[in-house]
Amino acid sequence: MERTGCNEGEELGPAHSRGPMEPEIVSESTRCKSEMAKHFIENQLKQRFRSVAERHARRHALEAGLQRENLSDDKKQQLRSALERQESDYMRLQRQEISVDDFETLRIIGRGGYGEVRLVRQRSTSKILAMKKLRKADMLKQGQVEHVKAERDVLASLHDPFIVKLYYSFLDEEFLYLVMEYLAGGDVMTLLMRKDILSEEETRFYIAETILGLETIHKAGYIHRDLKPDNLLLTREGHLKLSDFGLCKLVDVQALSSCGRDTPTRGSEQGMAPSASALSHPDRVAHWRQNRRQLAFSTVGTPDYIAPEVLLKKGYGMECDWWSVGAIMFEMLVGHAPFYHDQREATEFMILHWRKYLCIPAEARLSPAARDLICRLMCDVDERIGTRGGVEEIKSHPFFYGVDWSTLHKKPAPFVPKVEHELDTQNFEHFEEEGRGPGNPGGMAGGGSGRGGKGLAKAGPHFIGYAYKDWEAAAPASPDVVQLNNFVRKPSDAEVHTFLQANDLGVDLIARVRGCSLSA
């Protein structure tokens, strides 16, 4: 007699029979796998329909650009053909699996508390890129999952001259990877360590470019929250780009999550040990320079640039980034951070009591405009420049008199880093490989399993939707593609949503998938 519904040799009995109205009992493991599968399918559908919307937006942007430009009919058709080839290449790229095996590691150029950055060469194109590598287990253990996902989301959604460009994000069983453009000029921290103090003209240039990068982030609905010289990278031409968006957050937040930081000390000054704050101005600059690099590599990080409302874990908005701009500007012109102390808790205490401790030394000889801008950036939120008037209020401050904001990215930079070839890393620290072994099981050498694992299995419940491939990664930068990218831009999330709603693409289907559930 044919039997179904049980394994061979298994007896049917009361334990296996259930009435027609009894719901099937679902284990927690099955429920978890079902939810993972549902989120995975939902994400796949979203990406598929988003690709349709983005392709339409690129075609529309090109046609609009061709209407504005005085080009011959042959040139217009040449650019249309270039777009079609690029779209075809991109669709082909979307079907390919990207893994760490596609990149040759050249050297390590950065190491922090949660991962490292490697200079790599893409095997298929020979393009030199920077690969950020993070261990998934560390992200889970340290509660950094949402921060890692936020960084990927910000980089994938923003295309701007003042934001570092993301080409790929992917993962394997052990690591998360972000593959970005390589900015050979190093970071502003290295620049400040070499020069100690910048002139007001140099400071004006770098602060202006920082403001333009923040303007893009804020318009997209994000707050950076971790702005500091370490996160301001320089191109080989000397222009500035914002990076490291691991603490980025959407602005609709009313209360600060812990972000891995301890509650700041709010006691008295009696617990504060003597520090560099008691030194003369030249000695403070030297002391800060000596200890600055070590702070950058710490898992705890430095609070020197964090706004007081963020330390207090109060509700806050985009204005907290303007405080950080003021702290960076202070360091550029004075030579050290405004509240530098050997003890982290003491630095936090001084930030919270900034009225008493914020002091611009007379030896710095700042102009009235520079002094005024710092003081208006580093003050209470209600009084802070940019809180009510937005970024335009900051741009119109007398310190920026004469700045042409629309062409700043085309202007010569005040400092051009020394870069001798495409593999030149002289503007970065050099790090030794940390091989894994009994004494160092957490070493970052090597990679995970590379290709072969299924997307859902590699993503797990925490990293579904992490993979990304940028449109510009699809083809080499030929002259036509370079010109094409002057017309084509990445549509915003709002534009994609509007297009999908207007054309009734996938909205109901995604909603039905989201509404699916197992019987209790």
Q: Is the torsion defined by CA of 350, 353, 357, 360 positive or negative?
A: positive
CB atoms closer than 10 angstroms to residue 158:
23
List the catalytic residue out of 138, 160, 187, 226.
Answer: 226
- φ/ψ of 211, rounded to 5, equals -60, -40
Question: How far is 162 from 151, CA to CA, in rounded Å?
Answer: 16
Burial of 186 (0-12, 13-18, 19+ CB in 10 A): buried
Q: Which residues pair with 111 in a beta bridge?
A: 116
| Residue 249, number of CB atoms within 10 A of its CB | 21
207: helix, strand or coil: helix
In this structure, the dihedral spanned by the alpha carbons of residues 403, 408, 411 and 412, taken in order and rounded to 10 degrees, is 90
Residues 6+ positions from 146 with CB-CB distance below 8 Å: 257
Answer yes or no: are the C-beta atoms of 461 and 140 closer than 8 Å: no
Q: What CA–CA distance (Å, rounded) separates 285 from 296? A: 17
Active site residue 304: no
The kind and range of the H/E element at 122 are strand 115-122
Give me 520's structure tokens.
């209790």
490 is in an annotated binding site: no
The H-assigned helical ranges of 444-492 are 455-459, 479-487
Q: 516 near 36, Cβ under 8 Å? A: no
Q: Which two tokens stand for residue 14?
A: 């009361």
- Residues with a catalytic annotation lie at 226
Q: Detail the residues annotated as belonging to a binding site.
A: 132
